[in-house]
Amino acid sequence: MQIPVEGFMYPNEVELQWSVLIVLYPFITGLVAGAFILASLERVFRVQAVKPTYRLALLTALSFLLVAPLPLQLHLGHPERSLEMYLTPHRSSAMAMFGFVYLWYLMAVLLLEIWLDYRHDIVARSQSEKGWKRLVYRLLTFGSSNVSERALRIDERLGYFITLVGIPSAFLLHGYVGFIFGSVKANPWWSSPLMPIVFVFSAMVSGIAAVMLLYMLSTRLRGQQIDIRCVDKIAQYLLYTFVIDFSLEMLDLIQRIYEADESFRSLDFMVHTRLWKSQVIIQILLGTVTPIALLGLTQVVKLTETARKRIYGLAGCLTVIGIFAMRWNVVIGGQLFSKSFLGYTTYKMAFATREGLLIAIGLMILPFGILWVLVKLLPPWPDSGSLPASGAPAHGTS
Amino acid sequence: MDITRRRLLMLLPAAAMAWKYVQAGTPEAAPNYKLTEHWWAMLIDIPKCIGCGSCVRACAEENDVPEGYYRTWIERYHVADWKIERPDVESPDGGKNGFPPHADEGGKNFFVPKLCNHCADSPCTQVCPVGATFVSPDGVVLVDKNYCLGCRYCVQACPYGCRFINPKTNTAEKCTLCYHRITKGLTTACCEVCPTGARQLADLKNPKDPIHEYLRTHTVQVLKPHMATGSKVFYNGMDGSVR
């Protein structure tokens, strides 16, 4: 297949190396980090208003985190060798070290926090359920069925400590993804010390928006009333984070425009042609300015509950689309121009190939499937009938 | 088939020629090759390159380079008058079949052969997650295709566009400086066939190598020096428009 090229590319550059699957990877890890940080608001900073989303945020983070390595795995030329990254890691490689950051976050933070938070429920269900469900819950207790007041207090303290560790870990997880791109000095579109920070804030934006949408959707599906105080608060946090994220991105842009180094003319042309729709229209106008304006509107104008809910829903959807476009523009945009700064190539997404659109759609649906299973297994709803232990801490068990 | 005396006499010269060809193609045995005694580099004399494409063809044949990918290639630069920052560059099929005459007769034209720069501080080896790509003790950047994951991070990290993913092996590939030849006392395939001597293999650790005299007496540069990769492909007569 002939790939359309404009100007001059080094001959080996014509073919893009990282496809849509690598776009999914920072998008998914961003949702994980953002969802976790939203959860930690309640746990560490005691923001009671967002409590209804605490467990849902944790389960969302886990669902997406379990899927995060799949696009990478599918993209590898030799997926069967991927474990070598853990067994014989090359310590100077940002990518090799990410494997450990991922494992740390999955095993030491997320799984442990969820387990501690749900342990009381799991023990209760291992006694009340019947058949295979009982077996599943018994397995999930990992032999720890002590739900005495003292044990639950220890759970609570330990959970608090893990969340404390989890916040910098979530920053590390996604900041590190930013570093994987930001440290490639050969690529001026990526190479920026701001990249990890922009990634962290954009992660928070996407994660908060996703959990807000999931909460609103799931509450409606369950025929329950949306806690408007909760979504008001989440929307407020979303707005603040978004403003910081947008400011950082604009700072990067202004710096590039003003410096106008050797790569600028080439990158500027790319933004005005190949990335015009995905960056200027979708990412900046639709995915950033519009949701910021909508969320800002709810802060300055007194609107009815229904209007606010609709605005939050719309702003949330636009935000997630905008952050996806941002990941697209970073990953794909960074490969469209030649490192000679004299030409441009084209990305043609395949459909039913290993790195095609179909697989990408499947990978985006998969976390929702996992979340559905997790929600069935470990209901996150405050009204889900979890059994309060006598004298158990109010947190997490509601 | 019966071999008659007459037929044998006819076959002998052909067999002798074939044997000579086989001998010429057999690399010189170098059992005493010591890795630590060499530090390989390459010198490219831009004014000498005529853009014939012999090097690209020889490389492809010697190393079984897949069609459409290049371990080495030639770029033709056309710089119109003072427009040094906007050169017109082309490399049709990597310059494998030479170049058609340039349409614009004004300005200046010259050819720039490219290959892996075998950087001492190479960004590609830095980023490899499993160390499948490495700098050998004699200064050649190599890829272990039996270990490479095919993650393509090295391809992204190379500032010179020298790497690609071999579609047959699904692993990273690049110029090896014909390692299988130079460790046996031969030169690289591209240097071997260059009709003008525009490419010269050099051993920086060998005090008798003519490269030392050359570097003393010529103005040489490396590609993209601001990348600080410790490139070991030295260019003589390189115009400021080359990137």
Write out pLDDT tens, residues B134-166: 999 999 999 999 999 999 999 999 999 999 999
pLDDT on residue A389:
39
- B110 inside domain: yes
B183 φ, ψ (degrees, to nearest 5): -80, -5
- B172 inside domain: no
Q: Residue B73: give the domain boundaries.
A: 37-115+194-236
pLDDT on residue B23:
59
Say how many domains are in chain B. Answer: 1
pLDDT on residue B1:
56
Using the Cβ of A95 and the Cβ atoms of chain B, whether some distance falls under 8 Å is answered with yes
Q: Would you list the domain boundaries of chain A?
A: 6-249+262-377
Higher pLDDT, A233 or B30: A233
pLDDT on residue B21:
57
pLDDT bin (cut points 50, 70, 90) of residue B6 is: confident
Strand order in the sheet with B199-203: B199-203, B40-45, B233-236, B220-221
- B144 inside domain: no
- B95 inside domain: yes
Rounded mean pLDDT of chain B? 93
Chain A: closest CA distance from residue B68 (Å): 8
* Rounded (10°) CA dihedral A184, A187, A193, A195: -90
pLDDT over 80 (residue B188) = yes
pLDDT over 80 (residue B13) = no
3-state secondary structure B214-234: HHHHCCEECCCHHHCCCCCEE
Write out pLDDT tens, residues B91-119: 999 999 999 988 877 889 999 999 999 99
* Euclidean distance between CA atoms B185 and B187, whole angstroms: 7
pLDDT over 50 (residue B16) = yes
pLDDT on residue B30:
65
* Euclidean distance between CA atoms A10 and B190, whole angstroms: 19
Using the Cβ of A84 and the Cβ atoms of chain B, whether some distance falls under 8 Å is answered with yes
Residues A364/A68, Cβ–Cβ less than 8 Å:
no
**Percent of residues, chain B, with pLDDT higher than 90:** 82
Nearest residue in chain B measured CA to CA from A71: B151
pLDDT over 70 (residue B25) = no
Instruction: Identify which of A90, A338, A341 has the shortest CB distance to residue B131.
Output: A90
ipTM of the complex: 0.91
Helices (H), chain A: 20-43, 54-67, 69-75, 84-87, 94-103, 112-128, 131-140, 149-182, 195-221, 228-259, 264-272, 290-300, 305-331, 333-336, 357-377
Burial A189-218 (b: 16+ CB within 10 A, else e): bbebeebbbbbbbbbbbbbbbbbbbbbbeb
- B160 inside domain: no
- B124 inside domain: no
- B104 inside domain: yes
CATH number for B61 = 3.30.70.20
- B125 inside domain: no
Which portions of chain A are predicted below pLDDT 70? 1, 383-398
C-alpha distances in Å from residue A386, one per residue of A46, A54, A122, A215, A392? 21, 15, 9, 19, 12
The residues pairing with B202 across neighbouring beta strands, listed in sequence order, are B41
The residues pairing with B235 across neighbouring beta strands, listed in sequence order, are B44, B221
Report CB contact under 8 Å: A84, B164. Answer: no
